[in-house]
Homo-oligomer: A and B are copies of this chain.
Amino acid sequence: MNVLDSIDQPTLMLDDSVVRKNIEYMLLRAREKKVSFRPHFKTHQSAQIGEWFREKGVSKITVSSVEMAEYFAANGWHDITIAFSLNLRQIKRIISLAKRIHLEVLIENEEALTALSKINETELGVWVKIDVGNHRTGLDWQEVSTAALLCQKIRENPRLKCMGVLTHSGHTYNAGSKHEVRSIFREGVERLTLMRLALEGKGINELSISVGDTPGCSLCEDWSGIDEVRLGNFVFYDAAQALAGSCDFKAVSIALACPVVAKHHARREVVVYGGAIHLSKDFFTINGEKSFGLPALQCGDRWGSPMPEAIVKGLSQEHGILHIPGAEFDRISVGDLVFVLPAHSCLTVQVMGHYLTLKGERITTLNQK
């Protein structure tokens, strides 16, 4: 019995050969551009997939939580940036972890620095988190005096090392075109560069610039002025990234295998076992309609290209409603598997908690499901 035949419930399939290609491509891209590569592991959250990065020579990583840093530290990673503004309530865990590995954190206010003043018996790299226009969080890129104050306070503590200025231009994910992605990406770098220049004017030197978002790093050829990139999504990409042009559909390396439970001919809808608890409720808009992913038929021992015009119209807890206007509708039977390329792979991985490779190997994540 082949791997797909054995699937009886929603299963997150992973094509490891595509994952390895994605890793290699982006690593080479960073090397060619002479930019330090610190991939974000929040997308895959898996010690085993981490090893595929290590095999290619990656030794520095980014994570999004203290818990994730502890998990990867326990799995042999000794140089980790927690790319989330310092949470005062986790200061003990952070300091404890910094005693075991080289750790870097982000701060954006004085409260964080007061908490860090407790540090002893170890050292910690500290980045100042800057908002270059995404308006999620961080110090506004024009607030030079506050940034200078924070840098000075970091430098006053001999246990802290002031790394530089860091941003996440997450608004590239909402851009309407490749051109807009590139503009946002470059604008972010330029704003960090202006901030660094202003800080140098105040005698604060040796600051690096760290950025990281998959659309920008995938679509923009100009990486000048960047010292470090921290992108994560590229390891799997997803339907939204392929539609935005960040990658080819062939580079999407995960898909949810879903058993078909019903067909509604008049509406040309297929109901699958595969809902919000398997895909997450993230969506994109295509031709004016919401879609929670892109459906594809089985093709040999994996999924094929997305079906033209087909969408994931609705998701409830366990159900997915696929609208399939094309002739593929007639090729689908109750009991078949249909695949869904996730709208947002990071969240799909988080809700699923594990993968099955096309060869039938189970790969777990931080969530160990």
Contact = CB atoms under 8 A, between A and B. Distances in A.
B89 A9 contact: yes
A314 interface: yes
Nearest to A349: B277
Interface residues of A, number: 55
A8 B87 contact: yes
Nearest to A135: B267
A109 B281 CA distance: 28
Interface stretch (A60-68, A95-103, A182-190): A60-68
Contacts of A89: 7-9, 259, 335
Contact of A317 (B66, B262, B347): B347
Contacts of A243: none
Contacts of A264: 137
A334 B109 contact: yes
A226 to B, nearest CB: 22
Nearest to A343: B281
Contacts of A123: none
A9 B65 contact: yes
A177 interface: no
Given A64-B318, A136-B321, A347-B281, A111 B335 contact: yes
A367 B367 CA distance: 10
Interface in A1-53: 7-9, 42
Nearest 10 Cβ contacts at the A-B interface: A88-B335, A8-B89, A111-B334, A281-B281, A137-B271, A85-B261, A277-B350, A89-B259, A137-B262, A64-B318
Given A85-B261, A87-B273, 19 more contacts: A9-B66, A84-B261, A84-B318, A85-B262, A85-B271, A88-B334, A90-B259, A109-B262, A111-B334, A111-B335, A112-B334, A137-B321, A138-B262, A170-B316, A276-B347, A280-B281, A317-B347, A351-B351, A367-B369
22 contacts: A9-B66, A42-B317, A42-B318, A84-B261, A84-B319, A85-B271, A87-B259, A88-B334, A89-B259, A90-B259, A111-B333, A115-B335, A136-B316, A137-B262, A137-B271, A137-B319, A138-B262, A276-B280, A277-B347, A280-B281, A281-B282, A351-B351
